[in-house]
Amino acid sequence: MTTDAAAATGTKDIVALASETPSLSTLVQALKAADLVGALQGTGPFTVFAPTNEAFAALPAGTLESLLKPENKQKLIDVLTYHVVEGNVKSTDLTNNMMPKTLNGATLKVMLHTNSVMINDATVTMPNVAATNGVVHVIDKVLLPPSK
CATH code of the domain covering residue 72: 2.30.180.10
In a domain, 97, yes or no: no
Domain assignment present for 144? no
Q: How far apart are CA 60 and CA 50, in angstroms?
A: 18
How many independent structural domains does the chain possess?
A: 1
Mean pLDDT within 124-132: 96
Per-residue pLDDT averaged across 32-57, rounded?
96
Is 25 contained in some domain?
Answer: yes
Residue-by-residue DSSP string for 13-52: -HHHHHHT-GGGHHHHHHHHHTT-HHHHTSS--EEEEEE-
Of 136 and 9, more confident: 136
Task: State the pLDDT confidence band at 147, using cuts at 50, 70 and 90.
Answer: confident
What does the pLDDT average to over 104-116? 94
Tell me what the pLDDT averaged over the chain comes to: 92
Give strand pairing partners of 46: 86, 134
Cα separation of 92 and 81, whole Å? 22
pTM greater than 0.85 (yes/no) = yes
Domain ranges, residue 12: 4-91+124-139
Banded model confidence at residue 6, pLDDT cuts 50, 70, 90 = very low
